[in-house]
């Protein structure tokens, strides 16, 4: 490491470095903006995809039905988060977090370029662009979260609050993206909306290269932290050959599908992906629990991670209704005329990030203050709270869908969606940043990227399940919506109760195990 150390910095400089961004380590600020612009790139295409695919060919779309479009979106979103598992492994064992993030950013930018150019070169390039975004995000997502976690030593009460602030960056990007692409959607300028995301990804690349990278290195030197994100474990050989082989296989599949030699059924693929991801996650934890490399404390930590990942899957299967069923509900069944102004339906997608920005600082302050007093709830308790708030949001949608059925031919008030999205956002704040924080805190040494990847795999599963239900929001299936929303409300409440019952015994087991390790 460089010669700069704590002894060469004054107490004032160290204080500024450790509390330079709203009471958090200074490198959190450039990481905040790096993530903000990467998420801007993703959320610029997220709300457009389903609406674009169901739009008629004459309107510039593909003319797919709702079920097919939702299944394709689920495959894309599910694959994007699932890619974080091998992406985290490659970052831990081959590239290192820093190089993985850099190359992931470049691949994402290429993906956006392909989607924008598909207006000229056709549908195949559109799907190639989606694949590039999936592959690049797999490398990017785990790395930046691991870097944020590395800023906080064990026992630092600011960790959950720091991840909540970091989460604000995600939602600033999402808010800006929804507002901008909503205008392009109303004008039928689909590919311009898609292309905007590429510009956001380029900004993210620049911010990381010229600010975040330097700030991280300076912080590590000053605090005496080993910069693990700069290096890989290097315990495996010929990884590059396996990667090249996988990419060659992927290219072959693209050629076969695009030429019609290999059939492709989106609904069937989405269904089997759900089963495969669930099986892989369970198998991974079984192997780790049986591994002699991990001691009793590590395995207990893994058990807690496993329970949180299950809870996360159930939460996201409801929350990710936004780009599918909520988006279609807003477009087809909601009165968009507000005070004489026709609101673009995609603008409802901006409510979630707007609420995050309003509420995240409050949540961050609450967790820090409770932590300083020793009253902060456990991760499981926070997860249960998130589930209950999401359940309340879906309960509102039950009444919203019933209001359409009782008023044949009428439209629902936009306030139903506003209230539901507010409650879902509050649930997200209690669960998602806490989950990111918990994975960095509980993961055994050398497995941070993999645990973060598995947490994102839970989001992948949630997206696939959400896409399956989202495809049923169409004119001939509106009668089934109250039952759909009721089902989701019930399983969220049941899951929350189970997490609350498990919270205390699991935390007691973890504390006893940690004390035993300290005495040994």
At 369-386, the pLDDT tens digits run 887 887 878 878 888 899
pLDDT of residue 133: 94
The answer to whether the CB of 31 falls within 8 A of the CB of 212 is yes
The answer to whether the CB of 493 falls within 8 A of the CB of 387 is yes
In a domain? residue 12: no
Binned at pLDDT 50, 70 and 90, residue 5 comes out as very low
End-to-end CA distance of the chain: 32
| Cα dist from 301 to 75, 281, 288, 307, 435, whole Å | 30, 16, 11, 10, 13
Percentage of the chain with pLDDT > 70?
90
Give the whole-angstrom CA distance, residue 267 versus residue 136: 24
pLDDT of residue 472: 54
A 10 A CB-CB count for 153 gives: 9
Percentage of the chain with pLDDT > 90?
14
pLDDT of residue 510: 65
Is it the case that residue 153 has pLDDT exceeding 60? yes
Range scoring the smallest mean pLDDT among 1-15, 30-44, 162-176, 308-322: 1-15
In a domain? residue 188: yes
Range scoring the smallest mean pLDDT among 25-39, 55-69, 100-114: 55-69
Is it the case that residue 3 has pLDDT exceeding 50? no
In a domain? residue 490: yes
Q: Kindly tell me the burial class for residue 23, based on how many C-beta atoms sit within 10 Å of its own C-beta (0-12, 13-18, 19 or more).
A: middle
Mean pLDDT of the region 30-51:
89
The answer to whether the CB of 458 falls within 8 A of the CB of 310 is yes
Give the whole-angstrom CA distance, residue 437 versus residue 167: 11
pLDDT of residue 71: 84
Give the whole-angstrom CA distance, residue 335 versus residue 171: 26
pLDDT of residue 312: 86
pLDDT of residue 493: 93
Query: Which pair of structure tokens corresponds to residue 474?
Result: 């169409």
Is it the case that residue 507 has pLDDT exceeding 80? no
pLDDT of residue 391: 93
The domain in which residue 242 lies consists of 20-230+237-519
The answer to whether the CB of 159 falls within 8 A of the CB of 149 is yes
pLDDT of residue 8: 59
Number of domains in the chain: 1
The answer to whether the CB of 151 falls within 8 A of the CB of 361 is no
Q: Running DSSP on this structure, what letter comes out for residue 7?
A: G
In a domain? residue 352: yes
Query: Between 509 and 268, where is the model more confident?
Result: 268
In a domain? residue 356: yes
Phi-psi region of 477 (alpha: psi -120 to 50; beta: other; left: phi over 0): alpha
Mean pLDDT of the region 486-503:
87
Residue 24 phi, psi dihedral angles, 5° rounding: -125, 165
CATH of the domain at 297: 1.20.1250.20
Is it the case that residue 92 has pLDDT exceeding 70? yes
The Cα angle at residue 245 between residues 242 and 250, in degrees rounded to 5:
125
Helix, strand and coil in the chain, % to nearest 5: 80, 0, 15
Mean pLDDT of the region 378-401:
89
Query: Between 398 and 19, where is the model more confident?
Result: 398
Within its chain, how far is the Cα of 64 from the centroid?
Answer: 26
The answer to whether the CB of 129 falls within 8 A of the CB of 112 is yes
Phi-psi region of 60 (alpha: psi -120 to 50; beta: other; left: phi over 0): left
The answer to whether the CB of 261 falls within 8 A of the CB of 252 is no
Residue 95 neighbours by CB under 8 Å, 6+ apart = 103, 139, 232
Is it the case that residue 516 has pLDDT exceeding 70? no
Mean pLDDT of the region 24-38:
91
Mean pLDDT of the region 312-316:
85
Which helix (DSSP H) or strand (DSSP E) does residue 292 occupy? none
pLDDT tens digits, one per residue of 187-225: 878 888 888 888 899 899 899 989 988 888 888 888 777
Length in residues, the chain: 520
In a domain? residue 9: no
In a domain? residue 487: yes
In a domain? residue 409: yes
pLDDT of residue 4: 44
Q: Which of 21, 29, 30, 17 is nearest to 222 (CA)?
A: 17
């Amino acid at each position: 490491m460089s010669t700069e150390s704590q002894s060469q910095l004054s107490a004032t400089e160290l204080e500024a470095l450790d509390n330079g961004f709203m009471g958090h380590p200074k490198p959190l600020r450039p990481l905040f903006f790096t993530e903000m612009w990467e998420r801007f790139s993703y959320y610029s295409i997220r709300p457009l995809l389903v609406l674009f695919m169901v739009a008629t060919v004459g309107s510039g779309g593909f003319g797919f039905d709702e079920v097919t479009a939702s299944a394709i979106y689920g495959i894309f979103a599910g694959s994007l988060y699932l890619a974080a598992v091998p992406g985290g492994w490659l970052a831990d064992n081959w590239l290192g977090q820093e190089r993985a993030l850099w190359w992931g950013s470049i691949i994402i930018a290429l993906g956006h370029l392909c989607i924008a150019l598909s207006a000229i070169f056709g549908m195949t390039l559109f799907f190639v662009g989606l694949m590039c975004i999936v592959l690049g995000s797999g490398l990017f997502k785990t790395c930046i979260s691991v870097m944020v976690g590395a800023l906080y030593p064990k026992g630092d009460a600011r960790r959950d609050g720091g991840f909540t602030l970091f989460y604000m960056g995600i939602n600033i990007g999402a808010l800006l993206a929804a507002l901008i692409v909503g205008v392009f959607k109303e004008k039928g300028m689909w590919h311009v909306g898609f292309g905007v995301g590429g510009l956001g990804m380029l900004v993210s690349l620049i911010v990381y290269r010229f600010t975040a990278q330097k700030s991280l290195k300076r912080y590590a030197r000053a605090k005496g932290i080993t910069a693990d994100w700069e290096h890989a474990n290097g315990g495996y050989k010929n990884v590059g050959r396996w990667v090249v082989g996988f990419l060659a296989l992927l290219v072959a599949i693209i050629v076969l599908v695009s030429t019609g030699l290999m059939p492709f059924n989106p609904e069937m693929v989405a269904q089997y992906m759900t089963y495969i991801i669930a099986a892989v996650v369970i198998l991974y934890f079984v192997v780790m629990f049986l591994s002699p490399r991990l001691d009793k404390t590590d395995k207990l930590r893994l058990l807690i991670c496993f329970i949180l990942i299950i809870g996360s899957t159930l939460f996201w299967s409801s929350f990710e209704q936004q780009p599918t069923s909520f988006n279609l509900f807003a477009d087809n069944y909601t009165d968009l005329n507000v005070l004489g102004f026709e609101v673009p339906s995609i603008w409802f997608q901006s409510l979630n990030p707007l609420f995050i920005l309003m509420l995240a600082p409050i949540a961050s302050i609450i967790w820090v203050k409770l932590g300083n007093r020793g009253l902060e709830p456990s991760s499981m308790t926070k997860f249960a709270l998130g589930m209950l708030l999401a359940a309340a949001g879906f309960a509102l949608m039950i009444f919203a869908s019933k209001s359409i059925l009782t008023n044949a031919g009428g439209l629902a008030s936009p306030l139903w969606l506003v209230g539901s999205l507010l409650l879902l956002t509050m649930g997200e704040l209690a669960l998602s940043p806490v989950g990111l924080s918990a994975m960095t805190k509980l993961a055994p040494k050398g497995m941070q990227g993999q645990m973060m990847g598995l947490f994102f795999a839970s989001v992948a599963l949630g997206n696939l399940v959400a896409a399956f239900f989202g495809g049923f929001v169409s004119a001939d299936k509106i009668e089934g919506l109250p039952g759909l929303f009721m089902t989701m409300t019930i399983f969220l409440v049941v899951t929350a109760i189970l997490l609350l019952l498990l919270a205390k015994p699991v935390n007691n087991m973890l504390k006893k195990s940690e004390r035993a390790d300290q005495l040994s």
